[in-house]
Amino acid sequence: MAESSNVTEFIFLGLSHNQEVQRVCFVIFLPLYMAIVVGNFLVVLTVMTSRSLGSPMYFFLSYLSFVEICYSSTTVPKLLFDLLTDQKSISLWGCLTQLFFFHFFAGTEIFLLTVMAYDRYVAICKPLNYTTIMTQQVCAVLVGIAWLGGFVHSFSQILLTFHLPFCGPNVIDHYFCDVLPLLKLACSDTFLIGLLIVANGGTLSVISFVVLLVSYMVILLHLRNQSSEGRRKALSTCGSHITVVVLFFGPIVFIYLRPSATLTVDKIVAVFYTMVTPLLSPVIYTLRNAEVKNALKRLWVRTMRPDDGWG
């Protein structure tokens, strides 16, 4: 168990040993993180304050954007701090806490993306029943299931990791705490635990990804019978979601469903799914959606002229 470990803290090797490279990374990553927070917060604020964005699709999008902020915030602030320091350390309990919240928000995002695909399926394939199926209560329950699913996934990951004994060394060849780098430091046989972790994280990702692909294949087949205008609008909405799904699931499947032999590559891929994907997500949904762009413009106008009210 974690209490019986001789190790009380871990040392991150980070992205590079070169101080010049670290400073360059800080200059690049700080604006990226600020853009992630501001961009996703704007999506949340726009959905919350715009009457035109009251449909379930935007309700789920606001939660997705909120999760993106939390997801990046579990790793990026610590990375930014470590890029400016020589000693990149984290306590054992701090490491386990970071691992828990990282997988909690990642798992929640996986379930939210699946819920959003179901919403699009109902909207396109069952349009006459959409309002009776996707009620406010149903949407709230689906979001709650997404949060619960993320918690169960993360709790199982932390439970497996918590029982690993760490006797030294305590150097993690990464820039944040994750299960695969920690397995390499455990002073016990981790083969079975490694299989369970892959079965939990990797299988969840693959099954969700397959479900998403199948649902969108059904949607695309259904669109053949619609008018060109309806098909164009549906494809625009689904195209944004599919793009985000591929950007999110691609790196995760690469990390968790292969032997972790090249941690340098893993760290580069991790930068992509902890910073690039959360940054691109609000951009993709905004640029490809006229309703969101118009709502953002109205929000900007109301901000510049607060006396006009929140109409």
Read off φ and ψ for residue 194, nearest 5 degrees.
-60, -40
Read off φ and ψ for residue 135, nearest 5 degrees.
-75, 170
Determine the distance from the C-alpha atom of residue 192 to the mean position of all C-alpha atoms in its chain, rounded to a whole number: 27
Q: What is the pLDDT of residues 172-186, one digit of tens each?
A: 888 999 888 888 888
Among 93, 264, 76, 77, which residue's Cα sits nearest to residue 181? 264
Among 67, 90, 86, which residue's Cα sits nearest to residue 178? 90
Residue 9, number of CB atoms within 10 A of its CB = 12
What is the per-residue pLDDT for 230?
A: 63
Amino acid (1-letter code) at residue 208: S
What is the per-residue pLDDT for 137?
A: 94
Q: Where are the domains of the chain?
A: 2-308
pLDDT, mean of residues 275-301: 80
Q: What is the pLDDT of residues 215-250, one digit of tens each?
A: 888 887 777 766 676 667 666 667 777 788 888 877
- How many residues are recorded in the chain? 311
Read off φ and ψ for residue 307, nearest 5 degrees.
-70, -15
Q: List C-alpha distances in Å: 101 to 111, 116, 228, 279.
A: 15, 22, 44, 19
The pTM (predicted TM-score) of the whole model is 0.87
Q: What is the pLDDT of residues 124-172, one digit of tens each?
A: 888 888 989 999 999 999 999 999 999 998 998 888 887 788 887 889 8
Residue 45 neighbours by CB under 8 Å, 6+ apart: 299
> Which CATH architecture describes the domain 2-308?
Up-down Bundle (1.20)
